[in-house]
């Protein structure tokens, strides 16, 4: 996969053309332009000369966007930041190509001067409006000064056959106004359009920057211990085993383990936690954590490429390639919208005068209004920007969403299936109760239970040993027998110890106490004498308590628990959490079969999600419309199998993700309805002669600007929520 940086890409229609023509190339298997990231991902076909393909892609981009600078990922200048005029921190030999930095700044200044000069000429033209021999010249001077870039781009695109280009249509519309002797309106429309474009570009760039700020995880440098000195290096230059120093206020560059120091670390950017964690020696840290109050020495445990921060950034950067159905519809719609509106403009200008005998100029003016409205910029800019803003907001909350298609699916999710252990429960067994038989002490039950389970690696055995730590010498265990599905029989010194379930006790004809408690019961007997039982249970996570009610309030109709545990445990957990259904005593293959049945039952357009720990649930995660893994950032398999990764081991984040998805969709729908509604209204009024060119420009540039500003609510709302 080749990734190209398209520095200076601000034209959405050009981005669409680049993507379309790249996909038509014989040497390209697939190509996707990420307008938000200003990047292009290209998957080449086999046996293709990469150098030749790279040059072909650069030539293609230059054809449609001559002002865009194209770099293959990794070839960009050191210190380069997309969208910035200056290259901060670049060495002389690593600065952008000669003239690039100055050209951007000078172009901007010249553009402003030209615009102001055009406005001055326009003011003079209005002042001399009654003296046509002078005013027309001034109007034309003002027109060319103000619309220079639009006119130049239009002429350039004519030679490329791009007659439906927005710039060309704007030139035709304004020249038409001159033809109708609407000189003031012709220049005013171009002025309004240019000013609107400036504000629109600024709003888009600000939105891009705000989105990037939401996922600003990467440290710009690392302090590496080298020959007794601390030396600043790139995070990519670190290797496993290196010792680094993280000072207060600095980001942890890569994953590692603290070897010296104690400090509070802000983990919000990765996990969404608002409260800093206090970490000290031997505690693991992830790249992207922010050290707040004391220096730490950290031993590197992974390279940058394998670190948590690199995985997160990779997922987010590639998320815009997985487009939602809405984005795909808008892309298809945009291809037909402009030609259709241009055709209507031509028909409106020609047919009514021929039929009614009205003056041709009257209907030409109405047709010109259609030309101005013919660009779907408000949609093709704001829709992908909105979805990417939602993905960025989710990331800020500790929820990684792999693409807008999953953001859309999350909004439509009406059934959620949960794995139990490690998802809704802590996955850590502990002794919750010890019940001794008559004449027996509870400590004696625990002691012999611990001895009996001393040779077992089972989590239940570990929980008993943790409750009653006891050093048992290997030579004291004369024999150890695992009895499948029942328990263990151990010969300890001169005693025979039984530890297991009811069936094991019945096999030895021992009367036992009845255990009505919820959990796993381990009965203990020594030399044929029943001592009592130990109750082991897995605790429900605190944050899972109100989750099901929150999901119901968000529109989820059905919550289902899948577990391999006994029916009484499954029923207890489902009742405690207010779940609708449960399925118990399931093997991994049974879970797959149950999920297949659930998918067959689902309603059209609704989605079904599965939430698991991401380690043992890969088949079901892959089957689900939305596979959600929790606390699985460290597992490559989990990240690969899941559509959504919750970085913190917190079930409540599922509800947060749905809220973000619904809010994002609300913004997207608002923009679609607003953009199409205003355009349709102005076209209708224009056809009836009740709208002028000013209204048409507002319906084009003004609506696009408002739509982009509306998108900004997503990440500003996210920032407020994070601070709360």
Query: What stretches of 625-699 adopt beta strand conformation (E)?
Result: 626-630, 644-646
Determine the average pLDDT of the residues in 447-463.
87
3 state DSSP class of 683: helix
Q: Are residues 10 and 84 part of one domain?
A: yes
Q: Are residues 374 and 410 part of one domain?
A: no
8-17, 95-104, 336-345, 509-518 — which is least confidently predicted?
95-104
pLDDT exceeds 90 at position 548? yes
pLDDT exceeds 80 at position 637? no
User: Is residue 109, in this structure, part of any structural domain at all?
Assistant: no
3 state DSSP class of 568: helix
Q: Which helix (H) or strand (E) holds 487?
A: strand 487-492
pLDDT exceeds 70 at position 135? yes
Interatomic CA distance for residues 238 and 304, integer angstroms: 7
Q: Are residues 560 and 635 part of one domain?
A: yes
- Among residues 12, 68, 6, which one has the least CA distance to residue 41? 6
User: Is residue 606, in this structure, part of any structural domain at all?
Assistant: yes
Q: For residues 653 and 401, is the Cβ–Cβ distance under 8 A?
A: no
Residue 125 is predicted with a pLDDT of 87
pLDDT exceeds 70 at position 528? yes
**Number of domains the chain is built from:** 5
User: Is residue 294, in this structure, part of any structural domain at all?
Assistant: yes
Residue 149 is predicted with a pLDDT of 85
**What single string gives the DSSP state of each residue in 284-329?**
EE-TT-EE-SS-EEEEE-S-GGGSHHHHHHHHHHHHTTS--HHHHH
Q: What is the CATH number of the domain that holds 7?
A: 3.30.70.100
pLDDT exceeds 80 at position 111? no
Residue 90 is predicted with a pLDDT of 33
Q: Are residues 673 and 603 part of one domain?
A: no
Q: Are residues 536 and 430 part of one domain?
A: yes
Interatomic CA distance for residues 696 and 398, integer angstroms: 43
Residue 592 is predicted with a pLDDT of 84
Q: What is the CATH number of the domain that holds 252?
A: 2.70.150.10
Q: Are residues 328 and 181 part of one domain?
A: yes
Q: Are residues 588 and 517 part of one domain?
A: no
Report pTM.
Answer: 0.70
Q: What is the CATH number of the domain that holds 527?
A: 3.40.1110.10
pLDDT exceeds 70 at position 63? yes
Name the token pair of 491.
Answer: 């010969």
Q: Are residues 437 and 404 part of one domain?
A: no
Q: What is the CATH number of the domain that holds 595?
A: 3.40.50.1000
Encode pLDDT of 403-431 as tens digits.
Answer: 888 888 898 899 999 988 778 888 778 89
**What single string gives the DSSP state of each residue in 505-545?**
HHHTT-------SSSEEEEEEETTEEEEEEEEEEEEPGGGT
Determine the average pLDDT of the residues in 555-580.
89
pLDDT exceeds 90 at position 297? yes
Q: Are residues 640 and 513 part of one domain?
A: no
Interatomic CA distance for residues 279 and 276, integer angstroms: 9
User: Is residue 497, in this structure, part of any structural domain at all?
Assistant: yes
Domain closes at, from 514, 540, 566: 540
Neighbouring C-alpha atoms within 13 Å toward the C-beta of 249: 0
Domain closes at, from 494, 525, 540: 540
Domain closes at, from 33, 64, 98: 98
- Write out the residue range of the structural domain in which residue 452 sits: 426-540
- Which stretch, 202-206, 279-283, 354-358, has highest mean pLDDT? 279-283
Q: Strand 263-266: give its sheet, edge to edge.
A: 277-279, 263-266, 290-291
Q: Are residues 326 and 206 part of one domain?
A: yes
Residue 100 is predicted with a pLDDT of 39
Residue 96 is predicted with a pLDDT of 37
pLDDT exceeds 60 at position 80? no
Of the listed 165, 266, 419, 643, which one is catalytic? 419
Residue 665 is predicted with a pLDDT of 92
Q: Between vectors from CA 24 to CA 22 and to CA 28, what angle results, nearest 5°?
A: 65
- Return mean pLDDT, the chain: 82
Determine the average pLDDT of the residues in 269-284.
82
Confidence of residue 561 (pLDDT cuts 50, 70, 90): very high
Interatomic CA distance for residues 121 and 141, integer angstroms: 7
User: Is residue 252, in this structure, part of any structural domain at all?
Assistant: yes
Task: Specify the length of the chain in residues.
Answer: 724
pLDDT exceeds 90 at position 553? yes
DSSP 79: T
pLDDT exceeds 60 at position 86? no
pLDDT exceeds 50 at position 438? yes
Q: Are residues 510 and 450 part of one domain?
A: yes
Q: How many Cβ atoms are within 10 Å of 106's Cβ, its own excluded?
A: 11
pLDDT exceeds 80 at position 474? no
Confidence of residue 524 (pLDDT cuts 50, 70, 90): very high
Q: Are residues 472 and 535 part of one domain?
A: yes
Q: Strand 284-285: give its sheet, edge to edge.
A: 229-233, 222-226, 243-246, 296-300, 256-260, 284-285
R_g (Cα) of the chain, nearest Å: 33
Name the token pair of 281.
Answer: 């020696």
Determine the average pLDDT of the residues in 71-92.
54
User: Is residue 700, in this structure, part of any structural domain at all?
Assistant: yes
Q: In this predicted model, which residue has the larger pLDDT, 299 or 647? A: 299
- DSSP lists the bridge partners of residue 540 as 425
* Residue 419 known to be catalytic: yes
Residue 591 is predicted with a pLDDT of 84
User: Is residue 52, in this structure, part of any structural domain at all?
Assistant: yes
Interatomic CA distance for residues 640 and 619, integer angstroms: 12
Percent pLDDT > 90 in the chain is 28
User: Is residue 137, in this structure, part of any structural domain at all?
Assistant: no
- Label residues 323-335 b or e (16+ Cβ within 10 Å = b): bbebbeebbeebe
Interatomic CA distance for residues 104 and 457, integer angstroms: 65
Confidence of residue 87 (pLDDT cuts 50, 70, 90): very low
Residue 372 is predicted with a pLDDT of 82
């Amino acid at each position: 996969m080749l990734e190209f940086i398209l520095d200076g890409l601000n034209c959405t229609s050009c981005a669409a053309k680049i993507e379309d023509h790249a996909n038509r190339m014989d040497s390209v298997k697939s190509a996707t332009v990420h307008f938000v990231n200003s990047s292009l991902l290209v998957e080449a076909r086999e046996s293709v000369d990469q150098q030749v393909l790279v040059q072909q892609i650069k030539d293609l981009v230059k054809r449609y966007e001559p002002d865009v600078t194209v770099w293959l990922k990794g070839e960009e200048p050191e210190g380069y930041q997309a969208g910035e005029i200056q290259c901060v921190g670049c060495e002389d030999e690593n600065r952008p190509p000669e003239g690039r930095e100055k050209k951007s700044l000078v172009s901007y200044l010249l553009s402003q001067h030209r615009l102001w000069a055009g406005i001055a000429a326009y003011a003079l033209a209005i002042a001399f409006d009654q003296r046509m021999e002078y005013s027309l010249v001034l109007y034309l001077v003002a027109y060319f000064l103000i619309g220079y870039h639009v006119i130049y781009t239009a002429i350039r695109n004519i030679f490329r056959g791009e007659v439906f280009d927005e710039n060309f249509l704007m030139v035709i519309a304004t020249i038409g106004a001159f033809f109708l002797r609407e000189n003031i309106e012709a220049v005013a429309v171009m002025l309004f359009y240019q000013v609107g474009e400036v504000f629109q570009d600024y709003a888009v760039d600000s939105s891009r920057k705000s989105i990037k700020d939401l996922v600003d995880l990467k440290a710009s440098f690392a302090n590496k211990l080298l020959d007794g000195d601390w030396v600043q290096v790139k995070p990519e230059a670190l290797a496993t085993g290196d010792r680094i120093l993280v000072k207060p206020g600095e980001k942890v560059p890569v994953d590692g383990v603290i070897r010296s120091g104690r400090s509070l670390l802000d983990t919000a950017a990765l996990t969404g936690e608002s409260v800093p964690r206090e970490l000290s020696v031997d505690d693991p840290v992830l790249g992207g954590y922010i050290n707040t109050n004391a220096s730490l020495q950290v031993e590197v445990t992974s390279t940058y490429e394998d670190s948590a921060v690199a995985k997160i950034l990779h997922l987010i950067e590639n998320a815009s390639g997985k487009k939602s159905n809405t984005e795909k519809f808008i892309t298809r719609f945009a291809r037909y919208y402009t030609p259709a509106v241009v055709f209507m403009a031509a028909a409106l200008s020609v047919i009514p005068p021929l039929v009614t005998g009205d003056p041709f100029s009257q209907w030409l003016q109405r047709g010109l209004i259609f030309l101005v409205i013919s660009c779907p910029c408000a949609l093709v800019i704001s829709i992908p920007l909105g979805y990417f803003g939602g993905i960025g907001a989710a990331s800020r909350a500790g929820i990684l969403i792999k693409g807008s298609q999953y953001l859309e699916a999350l909004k439509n999710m009406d059934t959620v299936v949960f794995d139990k252990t490690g998802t809704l429960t802590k996955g850590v067994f502990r002794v919750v109760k010890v019940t001794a038989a008559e004449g027996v002490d509870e400590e004696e039950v625990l002691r012999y239970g611990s001895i009996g389970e001393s040779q077992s690696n089972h989590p239940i055995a570990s929980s008993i040993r943790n409750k009653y730590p006891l050093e048992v010498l290997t030579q004291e265990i004369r024999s150890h027998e695992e009895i499948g599905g029942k328990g263990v029989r151990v010969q300890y010194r001169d005693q025979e110890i039984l530890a297991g379930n009811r069936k094991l006790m019945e096999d030895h004809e021992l009367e036992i106490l009845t255990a009505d408690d919820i959990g796993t019961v381990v009965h203990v007997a020594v030399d044929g004498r029943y001592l009592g039982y130990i109750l082991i249970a897995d605790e429900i996570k605190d944050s899972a308590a109100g989750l099901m009610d929150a999901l119901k309030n968000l529109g989820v109709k059905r919550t289902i628990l899948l577990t391999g545990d006994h029916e009484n445990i499954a029923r207890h957990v489902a009742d405690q959490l207010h779940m609708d259904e449960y399925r118990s005593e399931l093997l991994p293959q049974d879970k797959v079969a149950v999920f297949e049945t659930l998918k067959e039952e689902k309603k059209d357009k609704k989605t079904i999600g599965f939430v698991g720990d991401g380690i043992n649930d890969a088949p079901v995660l892959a089957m689900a419309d939305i596979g959600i893994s929790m606390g699985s950032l460290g597992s490559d398999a989990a990240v690969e199998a899941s559509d959504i990764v919750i970085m913190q081991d917190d079930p409540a984040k599922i509800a947060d993700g749905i809220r973000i998805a619904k809010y994002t969709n609300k913004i997207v729908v608002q923009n679609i309805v607003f953009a199409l509604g205003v355009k349709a209204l102005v076209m209708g009024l224009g056809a009836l002669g009740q709208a002028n060119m000013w209204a048409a420009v507002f319906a084009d540039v003004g609506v696009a600007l408002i739509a982009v500003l509306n998108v900004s609510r997503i990440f500003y709302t996210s920032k407020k929520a994070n601070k709360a």
